[in-house]
């Protein structure tokens, strides 16, 4: 059975009968996990293993483990600092910041891979212009070259841990103040301004072969009246044709206010797929997700199937227990703590 274009969430830390039935539907291709799905590491491992055992090829299992305020699993995981801390280090010592970015990417990814999770929706490639409260500390920096530099090293660490990266939110969420979870952000800048600023990190990561990108629920009114997630111009003409992106294109969550182009989630899903998304996320809307699973019928994109294969996590060399007694893990934790406590502290790393 091929993987479908829907990524959905779960209600608790175990699968219900109804959820198990949904996950074996050909229209589902992945599961995104949240804090509510965690009660213990052993329980999370069992849940991920159960999801993976349902299908072949196995369903993709993802989460948001950026660090800072967006870290779904905290207890029994390293407390990751917000990535803006790496930008602060960069201002003082670029080489050290890049080393720390790679260590941080590795640490985030290897902890998730040790329990079987395929990937995290990270890193954030948006620029911190000091405008967006929903981005702010989640961004490396305001300078696109700094963001690109740190993101290259961060994703290098992720790959070393057996995890592919998903850069977000294309073409850039940092230039608007509104939060797309609860409002419709409208960016009034010109395409040239966005190209010379926000798109720079995306282009650099695409050139480095990034496997995944997530779209932004933002309207860039001087380019297209649709939010980027529903825009063939942004996703097809710009991202695929001009920037040369060949990986998996994920939509941001279609239950967000900015994605409410219709009350019907099937319409939202179809519009995102028609615009160029390979996989769409429907979160915190279980009834609507189930309806889309039933209504989407026999949708299949053979090109997407090829792209999905890259998102499966590589074999983790260590189990969760083995990882936490390894010298590599202990060293990485100390290095991450060094800039979490004092970004400017001059340590030999």
Answer whether residue 149 shows pLDDT above 60: yes
Query: For the chain, what is the total number of helices (H) and then of strands (E)?
Result: 13, 12
- pLDDT tier at 349, thresholds 50, 70, 90: very low
Q: State the helix-helix crossing angle for 94-113 and 327-341, rounded to 10 degrees.
A: 130
The pLDDT of residue 195 is above 70: yes
pLDDT greater at residue 331 or residue 183: 331
User: What's the CA gap between 125 and 145, in Å, rounded?
Assistant: 11
* CA 138/CA 114 separation, integer angstroms: 24
Q: Which residues contact 297 (CB under 8 A, 6 or more apart)?
A: 27
- The pLDDT assigned to 343 comes to 54
Quote the CA–CA distance of 275 and 280 in Å, as a whole number.
11
CB 166 within 8 A of CB 120: yes
Identify the band that residue 199 occupies on the pLDDT scale cut at 50, 70 and 90. very high
Per-residue DSSP letter, 242? I
Strand-pairing partners, residue 63, are 33, 120
Question: Average pLDDT of 23-46?
Answer: 97
Here the tokens at position 4 are 């479908």
Residue 346: pLDDT band with limits 50, 70, 90 = very low
Whether 180 contacts 134, CB under 8 Å: yes
By CB atoms closer than 10 A (0-12, 13-18, 19+), residue 18 is exposed
List, for residues 242-260, the tens digit of each pLDDT value.
999 999 999 999 998 888 8
Lowest mean pLDDT among 174-178, 243-247, 343-347: 343-347
| Cα–Cα distance for residue pair 45/116, rounded to 1 Å | 7
CA distance 96 to 93: 6
Burial class (CB in 10 A: 0-12, 13-18, 19+), 186: middle
Q: Is the pLDDT of residue 52 over 90?
A: yes
Mean pLDDT of the 40-59 span: 97
Q: What is the mean pLDDT of residues 39-55?
A: 97
**pLDDT-based confidence at residue 342 (cuts at 50, 70, 90):** low
Q: What is the mean pLDDT of the chain?
A: 94
* In the chain, % of residues over pLDDT 70: 97
- Does residue 159 have a pLDDT over 70? yes
312-324 CB burial, b ≥16 within 10 A, e <16? bbeebebebeebb
- The continuous run of DSSP H or E covering 46 comes out as helix 41-53
pLDDT at 163 over 90: yes
Report pLDDT for 299: 86
User: Which residues are known catalytic residues?
Assistant: 181, 252
The answer on pLDDT for 347 being more than 50 is no
Q: In whole angstroms, what is the distance from residue 89 CA to residue 310 CA?
A: 32
Which of 4-18, 20-34, 229-243, 290-304 has the least mean pLDDT? 290-304
- End-to-end Cα spacing for the chain: 47
Token pair recorded at residue 188: 């009034």
Joined together, the tokens standing for residue 177 give 């103040």
**What is the share, in percent, of the chain residues with pLDDT greater than 90?**
87
The pLDDT assigned to 348 comes to: 34
Cα separation of 218 and 311, whole Å? 25
**DSSP-derived 3-state class of residue 213:** strand
Residue 120: is its pLDDT beyond 60? yes
């Amino acid at each position: 059975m091929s993987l479908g274009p829907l990524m959905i969430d779960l209600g608790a830390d175990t699968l219900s009968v109804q959820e198990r039935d949904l996950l074996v539907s050909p229209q589902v291709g992945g599961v995104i996990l949240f804090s509510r799905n965690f009660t213990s590491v052993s329980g999370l491992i069992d849940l991920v293993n159960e999801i993976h055992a349902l299908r072949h090829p196995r369903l993709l299992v993802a989460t948001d483990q950026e660090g800072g305020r967006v870290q779904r699993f905290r207890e029994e995981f390293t407390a990751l600092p917000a990535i803006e801390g790496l930008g602060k280090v960069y201002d003082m010592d670029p080489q050290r910041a890049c080393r720390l970015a790679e260590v941080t990417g590795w640490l985030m990814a290897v902890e998730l891979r040790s329990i079987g999770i395929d990937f995290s929706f990270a890193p954030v490639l948006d620029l911190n212009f000091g405008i967006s409260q929903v981005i702010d500390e989640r961004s490396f920096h305001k300078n696109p070259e700094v963001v690109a530099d740190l993101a290259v090293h961060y994703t290098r660490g992720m790959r070393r841990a057996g995890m592919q990266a998903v850069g977000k939110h294309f073409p850039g969420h940092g230039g608007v103040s509104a939060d797309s979870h609860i409002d419709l952000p409208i960016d009034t800048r010109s395409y040239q301004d966005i190209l010379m600023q926000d798109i720079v990190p995306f282009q650099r990561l695409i050139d480095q072969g990034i496997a995944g990108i997530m779209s932004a629920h933002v309207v860039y009114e001087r380019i297209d009246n649709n939010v980027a997630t529903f825009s063939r111009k942004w996703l097809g003409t710009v991202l695929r044709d001009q920037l040369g992106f060949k990986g998996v294109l994920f939509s941001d969550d279609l239950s967000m206010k900015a994605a409410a182009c219709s009350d019907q989630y099937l319409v939202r899903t179809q519009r995102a797929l028609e615009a160029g998304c390979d996989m769409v996320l429907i979160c915190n809307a279980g009834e609507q997700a189930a309806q889309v699973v039933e209504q989407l019928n026999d949708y299949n994109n053979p090109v997407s199937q090829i792209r999905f294969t890259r998102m499966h996590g590589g074999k983790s060399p260590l189990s969760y227990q083995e990882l936490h007694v390894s010298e590599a893990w202990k060293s990485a934790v100390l290095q991450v703590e060094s800039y979490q406590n004092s970004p400017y502290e001059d340590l030999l790393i």
